[in-house]
Amino acid sequence: MPVLPPAVGEKVTPLEDYLIDINTVSANLTGLPAISVPCGEVEGLPVGLQLIAPRFGEGTLLAVADEFQASVKGAAPRVAS
């Protein structure tokens, strides 16, 4: 998300709600495979990296996500390419 999430119980306007989802809607509407992988923290909150692949690119998407996670953890990738 391009913004920090609202606090629990905090009311948001329709525009704020839209801005929270703006980066996920495109993958949902087009049916493209997408994944979010953890990549750190900002202000104590987890941050994710969103990856989107072409149609039927799930295998490549998962391999790239696995490679990224392995590089962040300093380990060898678990999925053979």
Compute the radius of gyration of the chain from its Cα atoms: 15
Q: Examine the pLDDT at 5 and tell me if it is beyond 60.
A: yes
Is this structure's pTM higher than 0.85? no
Place of tokens 């801005």: 19
Q: What pLDDT is attached to residue 55?
A: 95
- What are residue 26's phi and psi, to 5 degrees? -60, -45
- Looking at residue 23, its pLDDT comes to 79
Per-residue model confidence (pLDDT) at position 37: 92
Q: How does pLDDT run across 16-57, given as a tens digit for each residue?
A: 888 888 878 888 899 999 999 998 888 888 888 899 999 999
